[in-house]
Amino acid sequence: MKHWQGVILVLILTGSVNIFAQKKHTTQDLGVIAGGAYYFGDINPERMFYNMSPDFGILYRLNLNPRYSVRMSLQYGWLKANGADFDHDLPELANASFSTSFLDWATQFEFNFLPFAYDPRHVVFTPYVSAGVGMGAFFGGSRANLEFVLPVDLGMKFKITEKLDLGFSWGFRKTFTDEIDNWTPADYSLMPGNEKSFLHNNDWYSIVGIFASYKIFYKWEKCEAYW
């Protein structure tokens, strides 16, 4: 997908936040994120949490009701890998390595599996899932590469007070480039199993972290349909 097409998709989805914000009964959160990031690709084909590197950022969440939200996040982090850490058949791949910083921008729709609104009588928590569109900028070479990504996140949220939430998330970013690691085989027939598919022909990265968010605007009336 062309870069301009990805930018247009992100802008359309981001613009929808303004439409939703006109609804009367919403809350809005601002928060911070901190954790680690790791990469999947030719050098690391499958090892989870390999070579975790720092990641941090900010988030904004528009809560439409206790079940549904629109979330935007901006995160900065690092990715790195060394082929010597794996048993690669190709000498070129065994000797490959890379290190890059990245900027991740995602706009996602978020679904809470349980109603998530403050209740002083109970401990309020919920698992959640979110998905959307985004962009990733990678700064490992002489120039920055801007790539369209598909973000999916899983996590858990806890309501500490009426305005303060804590939680953790585990996110995956499907990219449409095979150049994050600066290593692309000229002939995919050289790759073991000759794998070239939606899962294997491009690089991925994953972001794991904890977050804290604070409610900055509060307009909410209980609607039984979401409880």
User: Among 78-82, 136-140, 215-219, which stretch is predicted with the lowest mean pLDDT?
Assistant: 215-219
pLDDT for 169 beyond 50? yes
Question: Whose CA is closest to 77, among 194, 227, 209?
Answer: 209
Tokens found for residue 200? 């294997």
pTM, 2 dp: 0.78
Q: What is the pLDDT of residue 202?
A: 83
Rg (CA), the chain: 20
* Band of pLDDT at residue 4, cut at 50, 70 and 90: low
Tokens found for residue 220? 């909410």
pLDDT for 75 beyond 80? yes
Q: What is the pLDDT of residue 102?
A: 95
Q: What is the pLDDT of residue 144?
A: 77
| DSSP-assigned beta bridge partners for residue 148 | 135
Under a CB-based contact definition with an 8 Å cutoff, are residues 160 and 166 in contact? yes
* Band of pLDDT at residue 62, cut at 50, 70 and 90: very high
| DSSP-assigned beta bridge partners for residue 85 | none
Q: Average pLDDT, stretch 93-100?
A: 86
Question: Whose CA is closest to 26, among 215, 227, 224?
Answer: 215
Sign, Cα dihedral of 124, 130, 134, 137: positive
Residue 47 is classified by DSSP as -
| DSSP-assigned beta bridge partners for residue 193 | none
Which domains, from first to last, does the chain contain?
3-18+31-226 (2.40.160.20)
Per the model's pLDDT, the better-predicted residue between 1 and 125 turns out to be: 125
Q: Average pLDDT, stretch 66-93?
A: 90
Residue 103 CB-density burial (10 A; 0-12 exposed, 13-18 middle, 19+ buried): middle
Sign, Cα dihedral of 60, 65, 66, 69: negative
pLDDT for 3 beyond 70? no
* Band of pLDDT at residue 11, cut at 50, 70 and 90: low
Task: Quote the CA–CA distance of 37 and 154 in Å, as a whole number.
Answer: 15
Task: Quote the CA–CA distance of 15 and 2 in Å, as a whole number.
Answer: 20
